Each structure stands twice: as structure tokens, then as C-alpha cells.
Structure 1
């Protein structure tokens, strides 16, 4: 995890967790790339306005979120390429015939104008789709929490 004070306008990042929830990219991969578009200093607390690739509305990034500045190390990128097409990145509980959970989330997500709302709705969908095959009631509760976060972000 980095601190927002290490980043500046124009820096590219990969976001791994936002408000404690894991982030997936448009293809269902872990993390989502974005760019810092504004630095914010409110009451001596720093944050950043970040725009994720493929999502219209920017969102506020704080030190509570988990992210890395790009470019990531070559070793990390090489490891990611090795893993991209295996069961770690495409587990059975995210497969639905010819569709993946990521495809479904991306299609639904395109209808949302707010990046934070889209993020939380996408997480809820992910948990709902995998619940019967992975963590059951625990995933249903996580989905409910994600929907509550989406509701909080709706008017922002």
C-alpha cells in the first residue's frame, strides 16, 4: 500500500482495494488501472481524485485504500501474465457456461454513471453469483454490505 501523498496529477495507479473491498478490472482481473486527476487537501488530510479506465465518474482515493503506482515492477507484471489464464483468475465459482462473472458485472456496470456506485454494485453481483458455490451466507452478507455502500455513494 502506498500513501496518497506519494502521488501527483497524471500518475497512473492500479487500485487493489477500495473501502476495504477487492477491486476487479474490466476483464475480471485483480486490480483496476486509473490515473490521478486532482489532488485534494481538506482539513490537512490529503486525498486524490482518480479516474479508472473505462469508468466515467472519478472517485476519491485515500490512504485507507490499497493501491500501487504504475508501472509495477517487471517481476510482478511477469507473474501476473503467468497466472492470468489459470484457475486462480478464472475459478469455477465465477463461471456460468460461456459467461464469466466479470462479463456480467461489466455489462451491468456500463449502465451506472458513478464509479463508486458501479464498484459497489459490481462487488455485490460478484458475491451473489459465487455464494452458492463458495461461501454461502457469508457471501450474501458481503453482497448486502456492498449494496449498502452503493446506497451511501448514490447521491455523491
Structure 2
């Protein structure tokens, strides 16, 4: 999920440029995603207590996957805005829920080690996934980037489930 946020921030301007959208259109879209991520964290405690961590994580991954696919398919800024708000809501809960899940799952004596491994995995993903996506691509390949991230988020959701 962390890498999906990074890729979204990097490739959304490319997608906007390919669709003849100005930075004045793309910047509010990125802002909407960020505000939605903050909002999702404000609601996270009550929602997690009610539904459980696994359900919240799996649902947020599925929501993020569908939103990223919609961003790729959207032809109007308004559809992209709605999709990015949904992506923000989904992607915003990944970090705190996964940290809490790992903290709760690991024995107290191994908790720091488990969280360190999680952080190392995040850094590896942040390094290698964008490199894998950024290989030379034909024009309009940014659509494939969003589709790839959507597919990866769906796969991670299935694994977490």
C-alpha cells in the first residue's frame, strides 16, 4: 500500500499530462487523495473495533485496487476525483493497521524484530516496485502502471484474507 501511494503520486501527473490536464487540475486530485487518507485514519479506531483489523485491511486493499483501476479508466477529472478519494480512504489505513496487526501478532519479545522486518519490506517495495514499473514503456503506458498497482493490491488483499 505504501508503494501504491508513491507510484500514484509519481504517475498521476504523467496521466494528467497525457490527458491534457493542467497541474491546476492534477494538484487538487492529489490533495483530495491526501485529505481522504487523513480522514480514514481519523475514523480508523471505531471502524477497526467494529469490524476487526483483517476485515478493515482486506476491504481497504480491495477499495484501493478498484480505485486505482478506476483512475486508469477515468476520462473526466470528476471520476478521477471520486476514485482518488476512495483510493485515499483505502490507502490511508494500510500503515497503521498493518503495524497494529504485526504488533499484536508477534510475541512481545519479537515485536521490535517483526516491526523492523515490516519496515525493511516496505523499503524494498518502495525501491524495487517503481523500478519494475519504470522500465521502458510505449506511450500511454502510465495506464498500465495504474492497472498493475490495482492488480497487486487485489493480490495482496487475497493474501491478507
- Which protein has the bigger helix share? 2
Give the TM-score, by structure 1 length.
0.28
- Which protein has the bigger strand share? 1
Give the TM-score, by structure 2 length.
0.27
Larger RCO (CA under 8 A, 6+ residues apart): 2
